[in-house]
Structures are given as C-alpha cells and as structure tokens.
Amino acid sequence: MPDTSPVRVLIADDQPDVLNALRFLLLDEGFEVIEARSPIEAVERIEAADFDLAIVDLNYTRDTTSGQEGLDLMERIRAVDPSLPILVMTAWSSVAGAVEAMRRGARDYIEKPWDDERLLFTVRTQIDLRRAVRRSQRLQAAHTRLQRGAVPAFIGDSRPIQQLRQTIERVAPSDAAVLITGEHGTGKEVVATWLHAMSERKSRALVTMNAGGLAEGIAESELFGHVKGAFTDARYDRIGCFEMADEGTLFLDEIANMPIRLQAKLLRVLQTGEVQRVGSSRLRYVNARIISATNADLAAEIAAGRFREDLLYRLNTVVIELPPLRDRREDVDALAAHFLAHYAARYRKPLARFDDAALALLRAHAWPGNVRELAHAVERAVLMADPSATGISARDLGLQPQRVSTDAAKPRSLEDAERLFIEKVLADHGGDVRQAAQQLGMSRSALYRRLQQYGVRE
C-alpha cells in the first residue's frame, strides 16, 4: 500500500548554488524539500520534524577538505534519528571521506558534480527502503493490539437500529470524526468496528486505546509513544497508538475518562496532525481517523470542568447514539437467538430454541447491562442446560432482576417499580404467568395486559 504522506527530504550544504540545484531536482520529483545551510541548522531541523531522507555535504567552510564537519554532523543526526537514511556528498574526487562516512552509517554517497539520474535513483531507493521499514514496524506494533478476526455481527431490526445502519453506511467512508454514546454494553465498540470495516481505511489498522484506567504519564506514552530515556523505564523507543493508526483508524474508548491534561495534548494533535513522542521534540505527521466512545454525559462532564469543550467539538462531527436495549425490546428475540446459536456451537450443545417461559423472561427483563448482559445470560443458560436438551428453560436462564443494582434497574416512577416487581415475581416462578398472577393477586388476563403494556408480550 502506498504511503500517502509527502516525502520530506533535508538537504544540508553551505553552497547556495548546490542547494538550489538539488532543490529544483527534488521538487520536480514531488518531494518536500527543507534546506539547511550549516551543520547546526541541519540538526535543528531534524530535531524539529520527521524526514524520510537527509542529503548532507561532508565539507563546510570552516574546514573545506578533511570532511570532519560532515562526519560530525552525521553522528549528530544519527543520535537524533538512528533510522533516518543519510546520503553524503563529497566535492573532491577522493572517495576516502565517502568511505569513512559509509563506515559510520551513511547509506550511500554522491560525488559532485552529480549525474541527475543517478542521484535520483539513489534517493528513491533510500526512500522506498525507509518507508518499507517503517511500514513493517507499524504493522508489527499494530498486530499486537489489533482485534484480529472478523467484524462482529450487528444484530437488530428495530427502528433505531435500522436508522443506525443507515448512519453507519453514510458516515463510514468519510474521514469525519465520530463520537459514539450509549450505556454500557449497548454495542459502541461493535459500531466502531463497523465504521472502520466499511471505510476506505479497512485494510489498515484499527487501533483501540482505552482512554481511562491508566495513569496520566502512561496514557500519554501509550497514545503518543516515547523515546528511549524519556523516563526511567523507557529503555526502548516505543511507537504510540496514534502512529500505529496512521492511515487507519484510532478508536478512543471511554474518552470521558481521559485525564484533563492529556485532553489538551490530544486536542493539539487533532488540530495540527502532528505527534510528538514523549521525550522527543520531533514532530511526526499522522493521518488517523478518530472514532471515540463514551457512556458518560459529556455535557455534564464539561459543566463540571472534567472535559474540554473544544476537544468535544473536534470529536463530535457526527454523533451516534446507541439506545439502551430496554428501549428496543423488539431486538431481544433476534439477539437472544444469535447468542444461543453462537454459544451452543461453542459448547457443543444441541440447543436450538428458548421455551415460551424462557422467552417471556428474556422479553420482560430490564437489561440494565444491555446487550452484553443478554449475551452473558444466554451463555450461562447454555452452560446450565441439560446436556441433551434442545430448548433453554426459564430455570436455565436464572435471571434475577432484583439483584441487579445499576441505575437502569432502579425504578424511576411508580410504573417502573410495578414493572420491576412484576418481572421479579415472574422470574421467581420461572416465567409461569399463572403462578405469578396468583402471587400478585391479579387475574391472568390482567397480568397479560400489563405485560403487553410493557412491551413484554405481543
């Protein structure tokens, strides 16, 4: 795959006519050319930004014949960026200086006056090599953190999910920043995976970084990478998530938990497209599509001073809201069937359906943990079921709504409380409506009406 960022070449010489001639030649090739008129300037340039190649003269005015200044310059460049290919230029016909330079790590040398074609050939070869090495480094690093395998299924046919599919199809191919919101377990990560899979970047990496749960310093080097010696434990250069996601997608999960100081640094990178590894002042250009997710109320986080408003505006070009499962109960059957097929195959059980009582329970449950809770409940039921059974029973499910103590399960109205109570009684009786009605002191038909009203029974 071609690398689309511009090729940047540094040329260092103190003779203006040499710089001019080189510049025109390289600009003509479509390269970005940055000039340095002295060894000091060359080192400053390389410290400040990322290059694909440096072409440096060995002889400067202070000492025009020994080539010592050029050799010193090479060492200093290699100290800043050991992987940057260096071509040296020698003005006098002795190759001794060039040989010494090669011994010290120069990739090739060019004799002045040069032959344009040969120079360009040498330059292109070094740039191709450099890009190939970087690509394989990036892939290696990305492999270790890529969720491998197929894109997860995205089940559901309720109106909100239909709309969501449309939005994903429309937005995925663009580079727009997408913010995905929704309660725990609603499928935010599934949506992020789909956005990447349906984008032009699908053959490149999708890199996930959980923005919370890490100490600030560690989170920063995770995100931007670090150089050897940046802090006590930094024994090697390390590439960060941003660079790994170059040309691909960076998924910033739990974005609301990102430490506020890191938010400021992230904002700057999003504004400039330039990343600095911790401990280095060099800027590296990255082109990553940003998807972020949160289950927090970002407006409230902003009001509380815990989240930067200007960062939000960089992340939320498109907002995708995932509704909780209780607001799209129509999807419960299809999701439950999907997970049943999945886990029955995994645990090699002949299970193929839910019996009526089990289905009633699934439909009645409040699912405070959303799709994840449903997946776990079905997995547990598959494990609990009799080895020869073909159907999941209410008992296998063992759903106990009264024990769930998240906000979503807390009644917010009298009607909610009634519904939760009815669900509990129904669960206690393994989904048996007749027994549940008896305990509740109401007729079966009255209970059925209530269940219909809650969307539990058709």
Residue 147 neighbours by CB under 8 Å, 6+ apart: 193, 206, 208
- 68 class by beta-carbon count within 10 Å (0-12 exposed, 13-18 middle, 19+ buried): middle
Of 112, 106, 68, nearest to 85 (Cα)?
106
Hey, which residues does 354 pair with through a beta bridge? 392
Q: In the window 142-171, what residues touch ligand ATP (CB under 6 A)?
A: 152-156
As measured in angstroms, the least distance from the Cβ of 195 to Mg ion is 14
Q: Residue 11 or 178: which CB sits closer to ligand ATP?
A: 178
Q: In the window 61-100, what residues touch ligand ATP (CB under 6 A)?
A: none
Q: Is 368 helix (H, G, I), strand (E, B) or coil?
A: coil
| The one among 47, 108, 111, 189 contacting Mg ion by CB under 5 A | 189
Q: Residue 186 or 276: which CB sits closer to ligand ATP?
A: 186
Q: Residue 126 or 193: which CB sits closer to Mg ion?
A: 193
Listed ranges 139-147, 180-188, 330-338, 429-437: which one lies at the site for Mg ion (CB under 5 A): 180-188
Q: In the window 208-247, what residues touch ligand ATP (CB under 6 A)?
A: none
In 385-432, alpha helices (H): 394-397, 414-428
| The one among 371, 378, 409, 420 contacting ligand ATP by CB under 6 A | 371
184 binds ligand ATP (CB under 6 A): yes
393 binds, among ligand ATP, Mg ion, none (CB under 5 to 8 A by kind): none
> 195-226: string of b/e by CB count within 10 Å (b at 16+)?
bbbbbebeebbbbbbbbeebeeeebbbbbbbb
| The one among 190, 270, 404, 425 contacting ligand ATP by CB under 6 A | 190
Which residue lies nearest ligand ATP, judged by its C-beta?
187
389 binds, among ligand ATP, Mg ion, none (CB under 5 to 8 A by kind): none
Residue 206 neighbours by CB under 8 Å, 6+ apart: 146, 147, 192, 193, 196, 245, 248, 249, 251
As measured in angstroms, the least distance from the Cβ of 274 to Mg ion is 28
Listed ranges 52-60, 115-123, 186-194, 279-287: which one lies at the site for Mg ion (CB under 5 A): 186-194
As measured in angstroms, the least distance from the Cβ of 188 to Mg ion is 5
The answer to whether the beta carbons of residues 257 and 218 sit under 8 Å apart is no
The answer to whether the beta carbons of residues 55 and 76 sit under 8 Å apart is no
Q: In the window 280-319, what residues touch ligand ATP (CB under 6 A)?
A: 295
As measured in angstroms, the least distance from the Cβ of 244 to ligand ATP is 20
Q: Residue 188 or 338: which CB sits closer to Mg ion?
A: 188
As measured in angstroms, the least distance from the Cβ of 369 to ligand ATP is 8
Q: What's the count of helices (H) and strands (E) in the chain, helices before strands? A: 19, 16
| The one among 107, 138, 188, 349 contacting ligand ATP by CB under 6 A | 188
Q: How many degrees, rounded to 5, is the angle at CA 25 between CA 21 and CA 31?
A: 125
Residue 256, φ and ψ in degrees, nearest 5: -65, -20
393 binds ligand ATP (CB under 6 A): no
Q: Residue 114 or 154: which CB sits closer to ligand ATP?
A: 154
Element (H, E) at 44: helix 39-48
Residue 361 neighbours by CB under 8 Å, 6+ apart: 394, 397, 399, 426, 427, 430, 431
Number of residues that bind ligand ATP (CB under 6 A): 17
Of 155, 153, 160, 154, nearest to 328 (Cα)?
160
- Applying CB under 6 A, the residues found at the interface with ligand ATP are 152-156, 182, 184-190, 295, 371-372, 375
- Applying CB under 5 A, the residues found at the interface with Mg ion are 188-189
